């Protein structure tokens, strides 16, 4: 047991169950960051030996990042994180369209879904508001928590330049049918467009939990976020043969680093850490998957035993698969709002949904509403996300904590 999920604070043990918000750095990652900062501090563009050393650290990291998603080293562009990677995709799509059709007065059209993270949704909404794109937001199906390939294909237009559908949802964990979506989009594109529609997936929540392969998924772009898989807070964008096959147009201009796709002197230490985190995923993904699934399934069993008939699992549908670490549970009862439960928890660190919305405590999660969870249940939801360190003993403590919190809230309600 590491001290990450079970930090001892005074005599109280904390159990961290918010791994979808962020993960701690793996000890190997921390070591590689320290080593790179201490020993490979040269400017990677310098030709002397300090520069060469730093450059080689970056090449090794790029290699592992590419391997982790089944791409080639040259397909990886290192960025500051998921938000930037997502923005780079939309920027590239728009610029590509402008160059393809310089005389057209039709705007490029982008398709996305109502399940996306704000770094996708707010970016495309802003682009639409500024008159840069036409936008269609397809809605997820209520009975599955998934975006159906049919709904994506029916949103396509001859001026559609790109589609962006996340791989796994950060709140419910539901895995989207990306392979099928890519297939139908590409088939439609061949028959109806004079260009190829580009397919992007934000794989922030899938990496490190399930195997991710750009070839199986048939995507042109894929977003990688280090701090969701025990790496540092930088990220990368996979683009299939950038500039040769898949357009990548920079948002920044400068010293030519990252082949000009994302210039700026490289953050060698963090890149080394991202590479090490990717290496760990490459080597241990089946163990991580199995462990998280065992513990998450145990958590759900124990919740059902502790609160018989009073819990429902959001995103648990017979026809949908979930990433192995995510449990989104609603407690049935008037006074059992997710944020109220969270406030009463003594040892458990959880969330009621996306970390980005943590200030809107009283509002039900828009993602749960989008998949058809009724208002009252959506408001009573907690997201419990498991990590590599979480044990069944941790879960027993969490269940005791939840029992106490819910008993207190029920008592308060009875007294009113």
Ligand X SMILES: Cc1ncc(COP(=O)(O)O)c(C=O)c1O
Residues with active-site annotation: 356
Using CB under 6 A, which of the segments 183-191, 202-210, 261-269, 371-379 binds ligand X? 202-210
Longest dimension (CA), the chain: 75
CB–CB of 381/314 below 8 Å?
A: yes
The residue written with tokens 């949802």 in the block is 169
CB–CB of 330/373 below 8 Å?
A: yes
Using CB under 6 A, which of the segments 56-64, 81-89, 314-322, 369-377 binds ligand X? 81-89
The residue written with tokens 């035993």 in the block is 305
Cβ proximity to ligand X: between 167 and 331 the closer is 167
Using CB under 6 A, which of the segments 24-32, 75-83, 189-197, 331-339 binds ligand X? 75-83
144 lines the binding site for ligand X (CB under 6 A): no
Of 81, 149, 269, 275, the residue at the interface with ligand X (CB under 6 A) is: 81
Our separate counts of H helices and E strands in the chain read 12, 13
Window 336 to 375, contacts with ligand X (CB under 6 A): 355
Shortest CB 305 distance to ligand X, Å:
30
83 lines the binding site for ligand X (CB under 6 A): yes
CB–CB of 108/198 below 8 Å?
A: no
Cβ proximity to ligand X: between 6 and 227 the closer is 227
CB–CB of 61/232 below 8 Å?
A: no
Those residues whose C-beta lies under 8 Å from the C-beta of residue 373, and which sit 6 or more positions away, are 314, 330, 364, 381
Cβ proximity to ligand X: between 167 and 288 the closer is 167
The set of long-range contacts for 363-367, using a CB threshold of 8 Å and a minimum separation of 24, is 365/171, 366/114, 367/115, 367/169, 367/170, 367/171, 367/172
Q: Report the chain's C-alpha Rg in angstroms.
A: 22
Shortest CB 206 distance to ligand X, Å:
9
82 lines the binding site for ligand X (CB under 6 A): yes
CB–CB of 293/301 below 8 Å?
A: no
By rule CB under 6 A, what count of residues binds ligand X? Answer: 13
**Per the structure block, which two tokens stand in for 137?**
């937001």
175 lines the binding site for ligand X (CB under 6 A): no
**Per the structure block, which two tokens stand in for 121?**
């949704």
CB–CB of 86/225 below 8 Å?
A: no
Cβ proximity to ligand X: between 235 and 275 the closer is 235
Of 112, 123, 160, 205, the residue at the interface with ligand X (CB under 6 A) is: 205
In angstroms, the CA 301 to CA 360 distance is 30
3-state DSSP assignment of residue 221:
strand
CB–CB of 242/248 below 8 Å?
A: yes
Shortest CB 166 distance to ligand X, Å:
6
Using CB under 6 A, which of the segments 34-42, 79-87, 107-115, 139-147 binds ligand X? 79-87
Of 170, 326, 330, 348, the residue at the interface with ligand X (CB under 6 A) is: 170
Cβ proximity to ligand X: between 119 and 330 the closer is 119
Using CB under 6 A, which of the segments 24-32, 78-86, 127-135, 304-312 binds ligand X? 78-86
117 lines the binding site for ligand X (CB under 6 A): yes
Cβ proximity to ligand X: between 40 and 205 the closer is 205
Of 225, 274, 382, 395, the residue at the interface with ligand X (CB under 6 A) is: 225
- Return residues touching ligand X (CB under 6 A): 81-83, 117, 119, 166, 170, 202, 204-205, 225, 227, 355
């Amino acid at each position: 047991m590491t001290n990450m999920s079970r930090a001892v604070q005074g005599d109280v043990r904390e159990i961290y169950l918010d791994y979808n918000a962020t993960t701690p750095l793996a000890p190997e990652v921390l070591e590689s960051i320290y080593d790179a900062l201490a020993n490979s501090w040269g400017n990677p563009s310098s030709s002397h030996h300090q520069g060469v050393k730093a450059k080689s650290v970056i090449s090794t990291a790029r290699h592992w990042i590419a391997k982790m998603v089944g791409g080639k080293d040259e397909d990886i562009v290192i960025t500051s994180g998921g938000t930037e990677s997502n923005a780079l995709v939309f920027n590239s799509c728009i610029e590509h369209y402008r160059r393809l059709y310089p005389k057209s007065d039709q705007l490029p059209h982008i398709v996305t879904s109502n399940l996306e993270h704000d770094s996708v949704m707010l970016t495309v909404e802003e682009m639409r508001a500024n008159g840069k794109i036409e936008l269609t937001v397809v809605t997820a199906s209520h009975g599955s928590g998934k975006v159906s390939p049919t709904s994506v294909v029916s949103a396509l237009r001859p001026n559609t330049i790109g589609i962006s559908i996340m791989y796994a949802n950060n709140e419910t964990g539901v895995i989207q049918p990306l392979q099928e979506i890519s297939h139908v989009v590409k088939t439609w594109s061949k028959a109806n467009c004079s260009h190829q529609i580009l397919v992007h997936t934000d794989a922030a929540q899938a990496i490190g939990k399930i195997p991710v392969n750009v070839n199986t998924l048939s995507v042109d772009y894929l977003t990688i976020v280090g701090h969701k898989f025990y790496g540092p807070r930088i990220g990368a964008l996979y683009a299939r043969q950038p500039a040769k096959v898949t357009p990548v147009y920079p948002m920044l201009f400068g010293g030519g680093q990252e082949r000009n796709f994302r210039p700026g002197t490289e953050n060698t230490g963090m890149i080394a850490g991202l590479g090490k985190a990717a290496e760990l995923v490459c080597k241990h993904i089946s163990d991580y998957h199995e462990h998280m699934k065992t513990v998450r399934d145990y958590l759900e069993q124990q919740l059902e035993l502790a609160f018989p008939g009073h819990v429902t699992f959001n995103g648990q549908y017979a026809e949908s698969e979930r990433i192995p670490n995510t449990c989104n549970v609603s407690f049935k009862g008037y006074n059992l709002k997710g944020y109220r439960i969270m406030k009463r928890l003594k040892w458990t660190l959880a969330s009621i949904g996306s970390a980005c919305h943590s200030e809107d405590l009283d509002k039900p999660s828009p993602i749960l509403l989008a998949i058809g969870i009724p208002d009252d249940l959506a408001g009573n939801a907690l997201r419990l996300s498991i990590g590599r360190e979480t044990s069944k003993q941790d879960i027993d403590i969490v269940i005791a904590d939840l029992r106490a919190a819910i008993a207190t809230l029920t008592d308060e309600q009875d007294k009113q």
